[in-house]
Amino acid sequence: MRPTVHDIAAAAGVSLATVDRVLNQRPGVRRITREKVETAIREIGYVRDVAAANLAKSRTYPLVFILPASDNSFMHGLHAEIREAMIRSPSERTSIRTVEVAAFNPAALVTALEKLADERPAGVALVATDAPEVVAAVDKLVTDGIPVVTLVSDLTGSRRHHYAGVDNIAAGRTAARLLGRFLGDAKGEVAVLAGSMLVRDHRERLEGFAALMAQEFPKLSILPVLEGRDDPELAHMLVADVLSKHERVIGIYSLGAGNRGLVRALKERASSRPLTVVAHELTVHTRAALIDGTIDAILNQNAGHEVRSAIRVLKAKADGLAVIDAQERIRLDIFLKDNLP
Amino acid sequence: MRPTVHDIAAAAGVSLATVDRVLNQRPGVRRITREKVETAIREIGYVRDVAAANLAKSRTYPLVFILPASDNSFMHGLHAEIREAMIRSPSERTSIRTVEVAAFNPAALVTALEKLADERPAGVALVATDAPEVVAAVDKLVTDGIPVVTLVSDLTGSRRHHYAGVDNIAAGRTAARLLGRFLGDAKGEVAVLAGSMLVRDHRERLEGFAALMAQEFPKLSILPVLEGRDDPELAHMLVADVLSKHERVIGIYSLGAGNRGLVRALKERASSRPLTVVAHELTVHTRAALIDGTIDAILNQNAGHEVRSAIRVLKAKADGLAVIDAQERIRLDIFLKDNLP
DNA sequence: CCAAATTTGATGTACGTAAATCAAAAAATT
DNA sequence: AATTTTTTGATTTACGTACATCAAATTTGG
């Protein structure tokens, strides 16, 4: 049987009330007594029964998700997963609220973060826009004792407790190797379509991609990055343009969202010269393109896992509990047409 | 606020005791009353607070894991993950016991399963050996109301509640495409190293691999399968032999465990002709070989996820609760040297 | 319509923790 | 030593559910 507060009391030779005072950091306990109790806790290996404690406290975990107001499949998917989590809220004792802020806009994000200081939620998850003032705002929350996790895009240099997202440098390198290996001995040019170089995850993917390409596949040269702003129309135009102007393009890496335009441009092109394409994020569009052979591989981050992981981590941090690191590592999914879920 | 038993009682116009009788299927309630209560439950959307219920019942979930006594890295890893889960047992209210049975031995497995009927654990997870008598034994447990999940290797045709493992046909197909694409235009032979064709997961991987190879990469021909019985020594011998005898081997698919022998054989070979290798299961040996370039890709199933998923599912089934399907899908990891965890 | 059987209600205890109150004891201050 | 202050103990209620007991009400059978 797992030890309870009664066992601590007996072991430390104090009353239940004193144990409670120590456990919940209530005042009115002498140093010596406090230490006696703490020793007893360590010695009998007591761990608070979180379920019972939450029951007694009628505790719920008010969580806030701050998301960019972006209109692409991935963000829609992320929203959908958060809605799913809201449905499960009653049984998980969470109460989740989402806040939408303008995308790629540090100021808007900072404003949203500052508002939370008074509200004091049990935890905050945010898709970070990478800027010093955002780091400061996040650090402020952390200092105030509010658990913070970054979602999808990290905020390096900040004191956030956790990052629920993939390693984007590794993703870029993986894309490079897939493209390089799939292209075999062929020589030629590779086009890169990104959303915006202002977002950290896109920058990191490009960084990893370019590094590995240069290092291992020197016979492939990378064309200047196309910034499609995750907009299907713009992406379509850019890709169609590069394909018509550059004869020697034999590979494309699409590292952002909004791949609808890319797929359309690929299907419209006149030349029948083979083209190897690696793209990010599994959506209805990329999935169809993978199946019909327009895209060769998709790198994906599972939004559902990211959301559930963020919630688990926030709850654990709010209670000062440990997390299972291996469980919370968000893996990079590689999908070929054969292992689609 | 989430409705409680009191709310049901008020809504149905009965006492708490009657609600309790209905909820816990205790006798002594008239049909009409029972229906009145059940309607109220549905209408106010009551769901039992499992945490509170488990507290009141002092409930623990006695779970049994039945594992083959195989001496390879993957099974060691699986054991390690179960030990980790045992450490977490107190806070998860589980009490986990493992049973080791002879590998590839239906009779031994059946004996172990039959013993469990009396013990009546809250759930059983087993690495299935594929045989009709095992199906019968599993179905017996299911009929007795004991939740059963298969782990790593499935038992098709049985009434097990869930399978915590990867889709092995898809894994085989994925291996085939990786190998085929990595080899580009090259023509030649491909060797396949398996553990045993008596195990379902190995059979399925081969099936998927052979099918996709024939369909999409006809210029690559598959040599007769080598059965290494997951034994490093035997695998070493078989691979060394096939490499020396077949000049035209340009690819290898290792779909079983015990890849230490394979790696050794690859490093020892004289010829410098390039060889593309896809193997299963990330272990210290395959990881090192991936990094040094001996292996080109590793397909992996995450044992930790499988164990945690099996536990979650067994607990949910024991309580008659729903599981989050997307969360419990065990994904096939594809590791290149760039996305290693 | 009465007795027996069944059904329902009322009530209390338990699970492990949180939180509050009030009294008693111990320590610190004068 | 007397007083004030601080510390500790004892006890109670609560969270939402499970489970048991006994009394009261209702239904059923004869």
CA distance B263 to chain A (A): 21
Please give the residue of chain B at the shortest CA–CA distance from A339: B170
CA distance B110 to chain A (A): 32
Check residue B257 and give its pLDDT. 83
Check residue B272 and give its pLDDT. 74
Tell me the two tokens of residue A198.
Answer: 């202002």
B32 sits within 7 Å of strand D by its CB: no
Residue B170, chain A, CB below 8 Å: the answer is yes
In angstroms, rounded to a whole number, what is the distance separating the alpha carbons of residues A194 and A93?
A: 39
> CA of A202: how far to CAs of A37, A106, A130, in Å?
51, 16, 11
Contact B161, B137 (CB under 8 A): no
Which nucleotide across the nucleic acid strands is nearest to A16, CA versus C1'?
D9
* B305: chain A residues, CB-CB within 8 Å: 327
* A212: chain B residues, CB-CB within 8 Å: 338
pLDDT(A70) > 90: no
Torsion angles phi and psi, residue B231, rounded to 5: -105, 120
HEC string of A50-107?
Answer: HHHHHHHHCCCEEEEEEEECCCCHHHHHHHHHHHHHHHHHHHHCEEEEEEEECCCCHH
Reported confidence tier of residue A45, pLDDT bands at 50, 70, 90? very high
What Rg do the C-alpha atoms of chain B give, in angstroms?
A: 25
pLDDT(A207) > 80: yes
Check residue A98 and give its pLDDT. 98
pLDDT(A197) > 90: no
Please give the residue of chain A at the shortest CA–CA distance from B175: A338
In angstroms, rounded to a whole number, what is the distance separating the alpha carbons of residues B19 and B23?
A: 6
| Owner of token pair 């890496």 | A253
For chain B, domains (ranges, CATH) are 5-47 (1.10.260.40), 58-165+303-330 (3.40.50.2300), 168-300 (3.40.50.2300)
Give the distance between the most distant pair of CA atoms in chain A.
85
Which nucleotide across the nucleic acid strands is nearest to B15, CA versus C1'?
C9
In angstroms, rounded to a whole number, what is the distance separating the alpha carbons of residues B80 and B335?
A: 21
Tell me the two tokens of residue A78.
Answer: 């992320």
| Owner of token pair 């410098």 | B272
CB contact under 8 A, A331 and B308: no
Non-local (6+) Cβ contacts of B32 within 8 A are none
Reported confidence tier of residue A258, pLDDT bands at 50, 70, 90? confident
Reported confidence tier of residue A271, pLDDT bands at 50, 70, 90? confident
* B212: chain A residues, CB-CB within 8 Å: 338
pLDDT(A193) > 90: yes
CB contact under 8 A, A177 and B336: yes
pLDDT(A175) > 80: yes
Check residue A272 and give its pLDDT. 74
A32 sits within 7 Å of strand D by its CB: yes
Residue A215, chain B, CB below 8 Å: the answer is no
* A185: chain B residues, CB-CB within 8 Å: 184-185
pLDDT(A285) > 90: yes
pLDDT(A310) > 90: yes
In angstroms, rounded to a whole number, what is the distance separating the alpha carbons of residues B106 and A68?
A: 55
Interatomic CA–C1' length for residue B3 and nucleotide C6, angstroms: 30
Check residue A71 and give its pLDDT. 80
CB contact under 8 A, A177 and B337: yes
pLDDT(A270) > 80: no
CB-contacts to strand C (7 A): A 1-2, 4-6, 16-17, 20, 23-24, 46, 48-49, 52-53, 55-57; B 13-18, 21, 27-30, 32-34, 52, 55-56, 58
Query: Count of CB atoms within 10 A of residue B98's CB?
Result: 15
Q: Which B residues 44-63 touch A at CB under 8 Å?
A: 47, 49-52, 54-55
Query: Percentage of chain A surpassing pLDDT 70?
Result: 100
Q: Is A79 left (phi over 0), alpha (psi -120 to 50) or beta?
A: alpha
Check residue B198 and give its pLDDT. 79
Check residue B71 and give its pLDDT. 79
Interatomic CA–C1' length for residue A46 and nucleotide C28, angstroms: 34
| Extended beta strands in A127-271, E state | 148-151, 162-164, 188-194, 220-222, 226-227, 249-254
- Count of alpha carbons within 13 angstroms of residue B225, beta-carbon side: 18
CB contact under 8 A, A173 and B208: no
Reported confidence tier of residue A1, pLDDT bands at 50, 70, 90? confident
Could you read off the pLDDT of A94-121 as tens digits, one per residue? 999 999 999 889 999 999 999 998 899 9
In angstroms, rounded to a whole number, what is the distance separating the alpha carbons of residues A245 and A242?
A: 5
Spans in chain B with pLDDT lower than 50: none
Q: Protein contacts on strand C: list nucleotides below 7 Å from a Cβ.
A: 6-12, 14-21
Check residue A82 and give its pLDDT. 98
CB contact under 8 A, B338 and A170: yes
Residue A326, chain B, CB below 8 Å: the answer is yes
* Residue with smallest Cα–C1' gap to D21: B17
